[in-house]
Amino acid sequence: MFLPAAVKRLLPARRKRSPPPLSAAGYGAVAAVLVGGLFLLLVAYGRPLLPETGFALFGPSAGSSGSSALFDWYTTLHVIYGMGLRVLLWRTSAHWPKPWLVIVALAAAVLWEAVENMPAIAAAFTLDQAAGDYGGDTLLNAFGDVTAALAGYGLAARLPFGATLAAAAVVEGVMMAIGFDGLIGATWKVLAGAA
């Protein structure tokens, strides 16, 4: 909105708003509600807690056992996503209390998992020949993916912007070189409906 300089001086300065700080228990409660809500939603989607073979730290990314272990190759996408969240939040909301920034990153990671595991989205990934008969993540894998996004956020918080960008580009390139979709490729597939 165009205002003459004389009028602008009479108006109060625009104050940046931020959420009020919470106690550590308050932040913990918000995080617990987010993660608990995700797990309830995944149970409602019919996702199993563990793979049929039991707990696995690292597992395949494709086929009926894909995205069932705690971590798989696609976990790296969540690390890049977390790094991107950190850069975005720091650029837009650096004046917020730091724990709130982590809560927003957690909420974004939870939202990703909720959308990724919607039956229609999981079915779209099943159409991809490489995915085999993928039916969605186990709760264990969803927890691993959310944890990976937070790890990416934490890594980006400690690296300079250029190093964060370089690390994300290297991970993206390695994923594509070994035959997996990187964050860009996977996002494109979903958005284009070609998954």
User: Does a structural domain hold residue 85?
Assistant: yes
Please state, in angstroms and as integers, the Cα–Cα distance from residue 105 to each residue in 33, 39, 51, following that order: 14, 17, 27
**Residues of the domain holding 147:** 69-195
Q: Show Cβ contacts of residue 95 under 8 Å, excluding neighbours closer than 6 positions.
A: 16, 18
Q: What is the pTM of this model?
A: 0.80
State the total domains in the chain.
Answer: 1
User: Does a structural domain hold residue 189?
Assistant: yes
Q: Which of 183, 153, 133, 146 is nearest to 42 (CA)?
A: 146
pLDDT in single tens digits along all 195 residues of the chain: 455 666 556 655 556 788 999 999 999 999 999 999 999 999 999 988 887 777 777 776 555 555 677 888 888 889 999 999 999 999 899 999 999 999 999 999 999 999 988 988 877 666 554 545 667 788 999 999 999 999 999 999 999 989 998 988 888 888 778 766 667 766 776 666 654
Q: Could you give the CA distance from residue 71 to residue 142 in angstroms, rounded to a whole number?
A: 9
Quote the pLDDT of residue 195.
45
21: region left, alpha or beta (phi > 0 left; psi from -120 to 50 alpha): beta
Q: Do the Cβ atoms of 146 and 115 come closer than 8 Å?
A: no
User: Does a structural domain hold residue 25?
Assistant: no
